[in-house]
Amino acid sequence: MVAIDCHNPSGARLVASKVYDGTQMPGAKCSLEPGVTLTVMTACGPFTTTDSSSTEPLEDVLKEIERVKPNVAILIGPFVDLKNNAITTSDVSFGNQFINIIKTIEEKVKAMETNVYLVASARDAVGYPVYPQPPFPWTHSFAKNLRPLSDPCVLDIAGVRLAVTSTDVLFHLGKEEISFPPRNGDRMSRLASHLLQQGSMYPLYPPSEDVNLDLERLEQFSLLDESPHVMLLPSDLATFVREIGDTTVINPGRLTKGPGPGTFSVFRMRLRESGNLETSAEIIRI
């Protein structure tokens, strides 16, 4: 959706003379209790390097969860990555590989007070690769603090609204966006602002060739009625933390990059005396 000044000199086309900046939606109200600091850790897959099916990177981030002891840990797919030849050519079925990964996570976190959320991804060999994507099919009885989530999703954590998607919407927008003058301003903030101004977790149509888009479900499950306090947008683009209006936007990067290590993020939130939410975030190399 755009607002422009234009005229129609020939009756056949509109000639634009001015494009107005978008307006961000009203911010969500924060009901976090004063004096409480909420700690969240997030990591985005792949959780294996491209030349291996070993879960060592996943085990490393689980050790970080055990060390930091966040209130919430958000692990974003892919968990069984379709782009990893070692996984796709394995003799172990995709379902069993997924269950093994979940059991690895469960064994580490079941005794913790940390709530761990697993966000589905279209790159996973399990689940339904249509956007918006429902949570992973939960056919086994896992720990109570381990829960599957859809892509996208909006969480209410102790009164803080947090929006998450595993789809690389920033990369998809970056391929289609035209900005003039070129290389002007903060590109990452500009790309992320499209989601907040359009009120959608995937404001691109037609979608990228990598996305199977269900338009009816998009209107039902992917639209935002208010700006979240935090938005997690993992991407192959450069990692960043940006304040856009009342929203903190974080690209934590991916836990592995090719055959090498990647990054994850830890951020903390507390309520200022003024009533505004203060967020401090850091991007950490694994």
Write the CATH number for 229: 3.60.21.60
Domain assignment present for residue 131? The answer is yes
User: Do the domain assignments include residue 10?
Assistant: no
Distance of CA 8 to CAs 2, 5, 16, 112, 286, Å? Answer: 17, 11, 9, 64, 56
Q: How far is CA 100 from the centre of its chain?
A: 24
- Count of domains observed in the chain: 1
CB 248 within 8 A of CB 231: yes
Asked if the structure places residue 250 within a domain, the reply is yes
> Can you give the residue range of the structural domain that contains 36?
24-285
pLDDT recorded at residue 276: 85
Q: Contact 254/44 with Cβ under 8 angstroms?
A: yes
Residue carrying the six token digits 């947008």: 233
Q: What is the pTM of this model?
A: 0.93
Residue 11 inside a domain? The answer is no
| Residue 126 domain flag | yes
pLDDT at 184 over 80: no
Q: Strand order in 240-244's β-sheet? A: 153-157, 160-164, 230-232, 247-251, 240-244
Q: Is residue 7 part of a domain?
A: no
pLDDT interval class at 185 (50, 70, 90): confident
Confidence of residue 139 (pLDDT cuts 50, 70, 90): low
Within a domain: residue 146? yes
CA 57, CA 82: separation in Å to the nearest integer? Answer: 17
- 87 part of a folded domain: yes
Distance CA 238, CA 186 (A): 12
**Predicted confidence band at 64 (pLDDT cuts at 50, 70, 90)?**
very high
The per-residue pLDDT for range 199-215, each reduced to its tens digit, is 999 999 999 999 999 99
Task: Tell me the C-alpha distance between 196 and 93, whole Å.
Answer: 40
